[in-house]
Structures are given as structure tokens and as C-alpha cells.
Amino acid sequence: MKLTSIYIRILVGLIGIGIMSPRILMAEEELNTCVSCHVENDLMPQDYIMEDVHQHSGLSCAGCHGGDPTAEDMDESMSPDKGYIGIPAYKDTPAFCGKCHSKIEFMRVYQPRIPTDQEDQYHTSMHGKKLLAGDQGVAQCSSCHTSHAILPAKDTRSSVHPYNIPATCDRCHGDSELMAARGRKTDQFSDYAKSVHGTALLEKGDTGAPACNDCHGNHGAAPPGAESVSHICGSCHLNNIEFFKTSKMGQSFESADYHSCEQCHGNHAIMKPSDEFLNVHESSLCLECHSDGDEGYLVAESMYTDIKDTDSLYQAAQLHLLDIQIKGMNDVDIAYLLKESKQNLIQLRTMVHTFDADQVAEKAVEGKGLSSQAIELAGDEIHEFNRRRVGFGIATLAFVLLALAVYFKIRQIDSQESNPSNEL
């Protein structure tokens, strides 16, 4: 390694930890003429941050842009003969980044397990295809990752950290001018933000909740097709998709080319599912396809009744449990039963995706049994509580009577002593 190269690395590192300011660097201009010259002429990239991941890994400006950072002459340092590329053309950016990121031999030195197929994936994406077709407004690497403020995805400040991905995508997908030209809507972010997933991620900070890329992919981003929707949702909601796929409804959806999950739950604005989805007497989703009296209508009606009954009994049992706890009685077995009952209710709601009223009814019987058992136990505890009170009352009465007897005996003795003519 050349001595100058070592100096440059040290200097870049020092900038990174904030020991030296660019002003100090100017005194050492022979070591990195890119930085010294750009600082002097106030031409540093606007998005430049010292914590940039490339700078931290010791990559200098020339590492991406080429040229000779040791040459003092601008023409020489930025000469194409010295490999100077400058700012890559918009359409060339994927290849520009891919120079290193597509080479496992190079990348594994820095991150042994990093994937190197981003560029290839990108070209399969809608963004990549449109870019190749000459669309200069679609996203490429720097649109999401930035140019000089790139941070690891696990860093919460990174534009591609799960917390920030919805906003990063929205920078373009929320731009009405940009999207209008491409015939796209711009309400994805606002829909997502109020959805069950959006609230979990953006408000509760639950990184287990999906951001845009979890459904649409990262570098190979494309809208999921009719078949892949179920795969995407099913990657987290395993049981739901298994039940659905083997159900009659799943087969009908497949033959009708419907977007399985999306058909009922929507896409970006997925709300917390409610039992009311099945309430055919009010505004059930089922009524979009089924009508009063048909098989689907009756199945939905039966499943709704079973779930509501099981839930009502569970809620009643919860109230009993609360009462037991307030009374300070033994709640261990009741709480355990209700934990099982709650689990049953979750399973019951998942089993709705079988669209099989008999299966759901069977599960509901099990759940109602658990809650009933808990209520029965709570009744025993209440009975025991009352028994204790009554027992205490009787014992207290007995002790009070005894105390009164002793008290009157004392008085009798005292009075007998003050008046000896009285008999004891």
C-alpha cells in the first residue's frame, strides 16, 4: 500500500470521527485533492455526511468517481486517463454502484454475507425496466439509498431502515406530478400509515410489521401479481393462507383470478380485521359476492354466530376473573383456562379462512367449553369467598359473645366485691 494512500485513509478516518475539520484538511491538500479542492470551493456534495458507510470503510471519493486524488492539478486528477468518471449518468447509476456491489470477491472483504445480486434484481423490477426504457424519473440506487449519506439498513437513521422505508418510497410515490405522468396513484403512504401494518411499524415501532419492501421486494420491486399476493401475505400469516388455499373459497378465487387476501382485506389500507366482516345482517364483505340464503351467506352467518358467542363467553369469563382478582381469591387456574380460551379464539378467527362452518363450530365448542369451565371455577371461588365471610361473621359473633360474657363476668365480680352481700 502506498504511503499516500495510508495517509488518505487516516485523514478520511479522522474526518469521520470529527477530529479534523475540512479547514484543517486544506493544509494537507497534497494528500486528498478531491476533498481539499471541493471544500475550498464549497463544492462538497450537499447530502454528504461524515458517517457515510463507504467513508467508514475507507473508500475515498476516487473509489467511486475515479481519478487521481494525489494529483494537485485539477485536470490531471480529474482526467479520464486516470479513470475519472465524475457523476454517472442517471441511467448508468445501477452499473456505477454495481461495479463493486455485484462483485462478491470485492464485497466479501467488507461484508462476507452481503448479497451481490442487487443490480440483477433491479433490472427485473419495474423501476429497472423503465430506466432501461429511458425513463429518467424512476428510482435507481441513489434515489433510495442517497449518494453520500448511505448508512447500513439496520441504522435507524438510514433512509432504508424499516422505520424510514415508507417515507423513502413516498418521496417519489407521493409526488403527484411524478406519478401523474406515469398514471399512478399517490395515496399508498397515507393508506399504509393508517393501516394495521403502518400503525404497528410507524407508531408502535414494531419492526416485525411489514414496510413497503416486505411485500414489494427491495431491489426487484414490482407490484405483486394475483398469485403472488397470497404468497406474500402467507409469508407472515402462515395458518391463514394454509386454510385459505385448501378451502373451497381459495379454489374459487384461483379460478376467478381474484387477488386472494387483497380481495377482502385490501392492500395498503389493511385495517385490523373485525368479526363484523362476517356479519351478513349488517355490512359484511361476503355480501359483495353472496346474497341472502345462498350457501356462502349461511356459512358466514354460522361462523359469525359461533365467533360472537365464543367471544361473549370469553369476555364474561374475563369479568369473572377480574372479580376474583379484586376479591383476592385464587385466580391461577381461571387465568390459565382463559389463556387457553383466548388462544382458542385466535385460532377460531384464523379458521374463518377455511370457510367451513362445521370446522369453525367444532372449534367454537372447544373455546366455549374452556370459558364455561373458567366461569364455573370463578363461581366456586365466589362461593368460597362468601363462605369465608359467613364463617368470619359467625366466628366474630362467637368471639364477641364470649368477650361480652367475660366483660359481664368481670363487672359482676367487681360489683360483688364493692357490695359483698351480692352472690358471685
Partner 1 sequence: MSEGIKQKAFAWLDERFDLQPLVNMMDHKKVPIHSHTIWYYMGGVTLFLFMVQVFTGILLLLYYRPGEESAYESMQFILTDVKFGWLFRNVHAWSANLMIFFAFTHMFSVIFTRAFLKPRELTWVSGFLMLLLAMFFGFSGYLLPWNELAYFATKVGTDIVGAVPLIGEKLKIIIRGGEDVTGATLSRFFGIHVAVLPALTTILLGFHLLMVSRQGISEPREFSKLPAEKKHYMPFFPHFVMRDGLLWLIINIIVLSLAVFYPWDLGLKADALASAPMGIKPEWYFMFMFQTLKEIPPHIWFMEGETVGILVFGVAALLWMALPFAKFRGKTIVESKWINILALISLTYMVVLTIIGYL
Nearer to partner 1, 271 or 410 (CB): 410
Residue-wise DSSP of 270-297: PPPP-GGGG-TTTT-GGGGT--TTSHHH
Size of the site for partner 1 (CB under 8 A): 18
Q: Is 327 helix (H, G, I), strand (E, B) or coil?
A: coil
* Candidates 38-46, 77-85, 281-289, 384-392; binding stretch for partner 1 (CB under 8 A): 384-392
Choose, by CB under 8 A, the member of 388, 415, 416, 422 that binds partner 1. Answer: 388
Q: How far is the CB of 398 from partner 1 (least distance, A)?
A: 10
d(C-alpha 51, C-alpha 101), whole Å: 19
Q: How far is the CB of 413 from partner 1 (least distance, A)?
A: 6
Instruction: Kindly write out the interface string for residues 392-411 of this chain, putting x where it contacts partner 1 by CB under 8 A and - elsewhere.
Output: x--xx--xx-xx--xx-xx-
Contact 173, 186 (CB under 8 A): yes
d(C-alpha 370, C-alpha 345), whole Å: 11
d(C-alpha 300, C-alpha 306), whole Å: 10
Is 420 one of the binding residues for partner 1 (CB under 8 A)? no
Instruction: Kindly write out the interface string for residues 269-308 of this chain, putting x where it contacts partner 1 by CB under 8 A and - elsewhere.
Output: ----------------------------------------
Length of the chain as a residue count: 424
Q: How far is the CB of 370 from partner 1 (least distance, A)?
A: 20
Nearer to partner 1, 106 or 399 (CB): 399
Residue ranges in 125-175 assigned as alpha helix (H): 126-132, 141-145, 165-173
d(C-alpha 139, C-alpha 173), whole Å: 10
Q: Which residues are CB-neighbours of 400 under 8 A, at least 6 positions away?
A: none
Choose, by CB under 8 A, the member of 152, 389, 415, 416 that binds partner 1. Answer: 389
Q: How far is the CB of 375 from partner 1 (least distance, A)?
A: 18
Q: How far is the CB of 217 from partner 1 (least distance, A)?
A: 42
Other Cβ atoms less than 10 A from the Cβ of 390: the count is 10
d(C-alpha 6, C-alpha 200), whole Å: 47
Q: Of 264, 255, 210, which Cα lies nearest the Cα of 232?
A: 210
Nearer to partner 1, 43 or 400 (CB): 400
Nearer to partner 1, 57 or 416 (CB): 416
Instruction: Kindly write out the interface string for residues 309-348 of this chain, putting x where it contacts partner 1 by CB under 8 A and - elsewhere.
Output: -------------------x-x-x----------------
Nearer to partner 1, 10 or 410 (CB): 410
Q: Which residues are CB-neighbours of 176 under 8 A, at least 6 positions away?
A: 186
Q: How far is the CB of 397 from partner 1 (least distance, A)?
A: 10
Contact 10, 37 (CB under 8 A): no
Q: How far is the CB of 211 from partner 1 (least distance, A)?
A: 33
Q: How far is the CB of 332 from partner 1 (least distance, A)?
A: 7
Nearer to partner 1, 123 or 327 (CB): 327
Footprint on residues 169-208 left by partner 1 (CB under 8 A) = none
Alpha-carbon distances of 234 from 79, 150, 160, 262, rounded to whole Å = 54, 32, 24, 12
* Candidates 55-63, 157-165, 303-311, 390-398; binding stretch for partner 1 (CB under 8 A): 390-398
Contact 83, 66 (CB under 8 A): yes
Q: Look up residue 27 and give its DSSP letter.
A: G
Q: How far is the CB of 378 from partner 1 (least distance, A)?
A: 14
Task: State the residues that interact with partner 1 by CB under 8 A.
Answer: 328, 330, 332, 388-389, 392, 395-396, 399-400, 402-403, 406-407, 409-410, 413-414
